[in-house]
Amino acid sequence: MSGFQKKFVEEITSRDVDFAKWYTDIVKKAELIDYSSVKGCMVIRPNGYAIWENIQKDLDARFKKTGHQNVYMPLFIPESLLQKEKDHVEGFAPEVAWVTHGGEQKLSERLCVRPTSETLFCEHYANIIHSYRDLPKLYNQWCSVVRWEKTTRPFLRSLEFLWQEGHTAHENEQEAREETLKMLEVYKNFCEESLAIPVVCGQKTEKEKFAGAVETYTIESLMHDGKALQSGTTHYFGDGFAKAFGIQYSDKNNTLSYVHQTSWGVSTRLIGAIIMVHGDDSGLVLPPVIAPTQLAIIPIAMHKEGVLDAAENLASRLADFRVTLDSSDNSPGWKFSEYEMLGVPVRLEIGPKDIEKNQAVLVRRDTREKVFVSLDNIENEVATLLDNIQRDMLSRARKFLQSHTYDVTDFDKLCEDASKKSGLFRAMWCGSEKCEEKIKEHASLSSRCIPFEQKPLSDKCICCDKDAKKLVYWGKAY
């Protein structure tokens, strides 16, 4: 390792020494974000935005495949519109940004910058839904939303963030409930297949559900520091919003009914999850499916005859992948560190000796494993390697999740364990908010979800000894 290279690598705080600082170092050094003069708002730089573009492309195809259409709603919500659904406004009003002036004029009614767009979709649905023939409406929008948070961290919690929000309207409860679970499944599959992040799926408790929802479902992932990250949610609204906004349709018998609604969203927070699940002390480690660059070709002894030609030839042979050829005058060592920091899944080295032997060197970012492969079959070698990396990353993350999931049946042990180790704690719960709060107070754990797979660990609540109703995942969370 050259002096320069060593220094480059040493610039990141070690993940196990100070996870929070390691995280901040990575988002800065991998040039994912820059801070701006609006506290809590970030600039998403090309390296960060390219990840988001790939997330969008992948998810958007999944949404369209399940029959959803994209729309765009206004950025602003009049105060009176936000107030139409009581629980919803109570949840969001304390954290919205208010526009009071347009140009030099004071507005007659304040507008809030959307924190989420249920109210706008409802107003629109009330306009356009009249008959059962107009249903279902399966809409989604990609946009930014604003929530006036006090403590912010890049990607994880910021004043403004990018997301998608699906909003659907259905003829009846069953259809809406199916949609709520179907989209949770879409999120789960996306996280596991594309981001190589395993998730726990389940329902949120009453305390943790979305403002205005009847039920909220979540996918929870586990970061390398043992904290959970709520990575996506879907909500079943029943006909509460429909009643507040008057969204009625006449059914086949000409009877007026209220629609049943859902909403669901994931955000740039997923980039935070990718960093914290896969990253290491050399920087980002990106899953091949979502990596903006999948393969970095680095010529060795570039000044020697034939090297650059061979590298260029490989770049064009491998153009079906997202390839970059770095022919800059930086040293190979510098380049190795650079593409490690950026998390590029595979590095290809080619030098005079390799050309002689009709081979190239492929180095995996995740394991640093080095293999020599024949140039004859390089397209297949790269394809297979990328597949393997994707699969192995998921499987490693799954093992980590499993080995950091603990079954606990005793309250004192839960408190003690939670003070010593981090991860997801599975424990039985009676269903009362009081016990949920007590666990929060004594073990600093919040309920993450009530998983779909319910295998009782005991018949008593871990907290109050009353009859247990549910197995719950508890954890410290971002």
Per the CB < 8 A criterion, the answer to whether 255 and 136 are in contact is no
Binding region for a copy of itself (CB under 8 A) out of 156-164, 200-208, 340-348, 453-461: 156-164
Taking the C-alpha atoms of residue 97 and residue 121, their distance in angstroms, rounded to an integer, is 19
Q: Which of 53, 206, 376, 412 is in the footprint of a copy of itself by CB under 8 A?
A: 53
> Residue 297 belongs to what H/E stretch?
strand 295-299
Binding to a copy of itself in span 78-97, by CB under 8 A: 78, 81, 94-97
Closest CB to a copy of itself among residues 52, 236: 52
Instruction: Indicate whether 65 belongs to the interface with a copy of itself (CB under 8 A).
Output: no
241 binds a copy of itself (CB under 8 A): no
Q: Tell me if 160 contacts a copy of itself by CB under 8 A.
A: yes
Stretch near a copy of itself under the rule CB under 8 A, chosen from 141-149, 259-267, 361-369, 421-429: 141-149
- Separation between Cα atoms, residue 405 and residue 422, nearest integer Å: 9
Closest CA to 218 of 183, 246, 243: 183
Q: Which two tokens stand for residue 172?
A: 């009846």
Residue whose CB is less far from a copy of itself, 110 or 317: 110
Nearer to a copy of itself, 71 or 383 (CB): 71
**Site membership for a copy of itself, residue 36 (CB under 8 A):** yes
Closest Cα partner for 216 from 187, 196, 191?
A: 187
300 binds a copy of itself (CB under 8 A): no
Q: Which two tokens stand for residue 380?
A: 């297949």
For residue 128, give the 3-state DSSP assignment.
Answer: helix
Interstrand relation of 248-250 and 256-258 (parallel, antiparallel or unpaired) = antiparallel
Distance CA 99, CA 111 (A): 5
Choose the stretch contacting a copy of itself; rule: CB under 8 A; options: 63-71, 201-209, 239-247, 414-422: 63-71
Tell me the CA end-to-end span of the chain in Å, nearest whole number: 36
The CA-based dihedral angle spanning residues 310, 312, 313, 319, taken in that order and rounded to the nearest 10 degrees: 140
Say how many residues touch a copy of itself, by CB under 8 A. 52
Q: State the helix-helix crossing angle for 411-420 and 433-443, rounded to 10 degrees.
A: 40
Report the nearest approach of a copy of itself to the CB of residue 90 (Å): 13
Q: CB nearer to a copy of itself: give 161 or 217.
A: 161
| Member of 23, 63, 139, 155 binding a copy of itself (CB under 8 A) | 139
Can you tell me the distance from the alpha carbon of 373 to that of 376, in angstroms, rounded to the nearest whole number?
9
Considering the rule CB under 8 A, would residue 73 count as an interface residue with a copy of itself? yes
The contact set with a copy of itself (CB under 8 A) reads 34, 36-38, 41-46, 49-50, 52-53, 69-78, 81, 94-105, 111, 113, 120, 123-124, 127-128, 139, 143-144, 146, 148, 159-160, 162
